[in-house]
């Protein structure tokens, strides 16, 4: 009888593991807090970076990834200001082993706001990238023939200030909180359809409520085939195309619009 009770109680010993990410988060916040706020005990930069690395590893342990810091962390300053004041943010970047880069500059970015005592990062944009691309293809398939275009999403360059993405967040939740998702599109399309396409895109963005920042390149078949064969989309390579547009729709803007930049002029669609 005692052995049976012991067996029933055994799993309870491991219940604390469910709270491991929160524990690591607390340790990370505490370490960062003492680094900037406690004059009696300041962590070295190496100690702070170690604490933030442990936080990231704990938060995203369920993905079985290896996150390696890229150099040392740094305090972020506002370069546009005459006196270069601090933004109250400390940033540490990571390489992810599990999710491949699509451009050399892509890294996971963690920012600690030591004034507000918050930690925000961009890891979930790597995790959910392919799922998010499928969501945007649902939109663009209603504008272009599915086989006539290529679409790629860029990961976040920096965390948004209004939301800390959860490790268990779904792609629908992710897109609901994203103000603008950056996508690149190459399409075999006559530029005469551009204005009609942009109006349709705006209608669909309002319907789906997906914020977007899209670079759209209208190409002929030869240009499209060349770029499809010669490299990744998310690069700053020289592109041969008929026309291109920068399409932006932010969910939090008071007036919703798509701004399409074509040959040095803005065309506004409402």
Residue 153 contacts residue 136 (beta carbons within 8 Å): yes
Q: What are 178-216's pLDDT values in tens digits? A: 888 999 999 999 999 988 999 899 889 989 989 999 999
Q: Which of 99, 121, 143 is the last residue of a domain?
A: 121
84 and 176 fall within a common domain: no
The rounded distance, in Å, linking the Cα atoms of 79 and 86 is 9
| pTM (global) more than 0.75 | yes
Q: What is the CATH number of the domain that holds 187?
A: 3.10.310
Within this chain, do residues 60 and 176 fall inside the same structural domain, yes or no? no
Does the pLDDT of residue 253 top 50, yes or no? yes
Task: Indicate the range of 97-101, 140-144, 172-176, 245-249 predicted with least confidence.
Answer: 245-249
Q: Which two tokens stand for residue 185?
A: 């599109």
Question: Does 113 lie in the same domain as 152?
Answer: no
Predicted local distance difference test score (pLDDT) of residue 80: 64
Say if residue 136 is in the same domain as residue 260: yes
Residues 224 and 246 in one domain: yes
Question: Of the ranges 107-111, 217-221, 229-233, which one carries the lowest mean pLDDT score?
Answer: 229-233
**256 and 133 in one domain?**
yes
Spatial contact of 258 and 249, defined as CB atoms under 8 Å apart: yes
Question: Among 97-106, 134-143, 227-236, which stretch is predicted with the lowest mean pLDDT?
Answer: 227-236
100-108 long-range CB contacts below 8 Å, 24 or more apart?
Answer: 102/152, 102/154, 102/155, 102/232, 102/233, 102/234, 103/154, 103/232, 103/234, 103/235, 106/154, 106/155, 106/234, 107/70, 108/56, 108/67
- Residues above pLDDT 90, as percent of the chain: 47
In percent, the amount of the chain with pLDDT more than 70 equals: 74
Give the per-residue pLDDT at 262: 58
Q: Which of 121, 156, 184 is the last residue of a domain?
A: 121
Task: For residues 207 and 79, state if they share a domain.
Answer: no
Q: What is the pLDDT of residues 40-93, one digit of tens each?
A: 456 788 989 999 999 999 999 999 999 999 999 998 887 665 565 667 889 999
Task: List Cα–Cα distances, 136 to 37, 172, 211, 269, in angstroms.
Answer: 43, 11, 10, 20
For 207, the domain range is: 127-269
Q: What is the pLDDT of residue 246?
A: 87
HSE toward the beta carbon, residue 29, CA cutoff 13 A: 13
pLDDT of residue 42: 66
Do residues 80 and 172 both lie within one domain?
no
Count of structural domains within the chain: 2
Which helix (H) or strand (E) segment is 43 a member of? none
Instruction: Give how far the C-alpha of residue 251 lies from the chain's centroid of Cα atoms, to the nearest Å.
Output: 16
Least confident of 34-38, 120-124, 217-221, 235-239: 34-38
Q: Supply the pLDDT for residue 238.
A: 75
Q: Determine the 3-state secondary structure of 181 from DSSP.
A: strand
CB-based contacts of 136-144 (< 8 A; 24+ apart in sequence): 136/181, 136/183, 136/210, 136/212, 138/208, 139/201, 139/204, 139/205, 139/208, 139/210, 140/185, 140/201, 142/200, 142/204, 143/197, 143/200, 143/201, 143/204, 144/187, 144/189, 144/197
* Mean pLDDT, rounded, for 20-48: 59
pLDDT value of residue 9: 42
Segment 107-119 mean pLDDT: 91
Q: Which of 105, 121, 137 is the last residue of a domain?
A: 121
């Amino acid at each position: 009888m005692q052995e049976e009770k012991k067996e029933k109680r055994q799993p309870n010993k491991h219940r604390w593991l469910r709270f491991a990410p929160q524990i690591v988060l607390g340790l990370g916040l505490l370490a960062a807090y003492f680094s900037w706020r406690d004059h009696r005990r300041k962590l070295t930069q190496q100690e702070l970076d170690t604490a933030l690395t442990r936080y990231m590893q704990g938060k995203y342990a369920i993905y079985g990834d290896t996150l390696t810091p890229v150099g040392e962390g740094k305090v972020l300053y506002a370069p546009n200001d005459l006196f270069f004041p601090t933004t109250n943010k400390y940033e540490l970047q990571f390489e992810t082993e599990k999710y491949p880069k699509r451009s050399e500059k892509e890294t996971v970015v963690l920012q600690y706001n030591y004034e507000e005592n918050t930690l925000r990062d961009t890891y979930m944009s790597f995790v959910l990238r392919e799922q998010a691309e499928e969501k945007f293809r649902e939109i663009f398939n209603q504008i272009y023939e599915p086989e006539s275009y290529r679409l790629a999403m860029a990961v976040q360059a920096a965390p948004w200030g209004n939301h800390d993405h959860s490790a268990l967040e779904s792609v629908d939740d992710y897109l609901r909180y994203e103000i603008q998702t950056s996508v690149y599109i190459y399409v075999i399309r006559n530029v005469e359809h551009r204005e009609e396409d942009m109006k349709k895109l705006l209608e669909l963005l309002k319907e789906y409520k997906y914020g977007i920042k899209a670079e759209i390149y209208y190409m002929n078949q030869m240009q499209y085939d060349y770029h499809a064969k010669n490299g990744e989309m998310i690069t700053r390579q020289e592109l041969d195309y008929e026309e291109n547009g920068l399409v932006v729709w932010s969910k939090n803007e008071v007036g919703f619009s798509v701004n399409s930049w074509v040959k040095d002029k803005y065309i506004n669609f409402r």
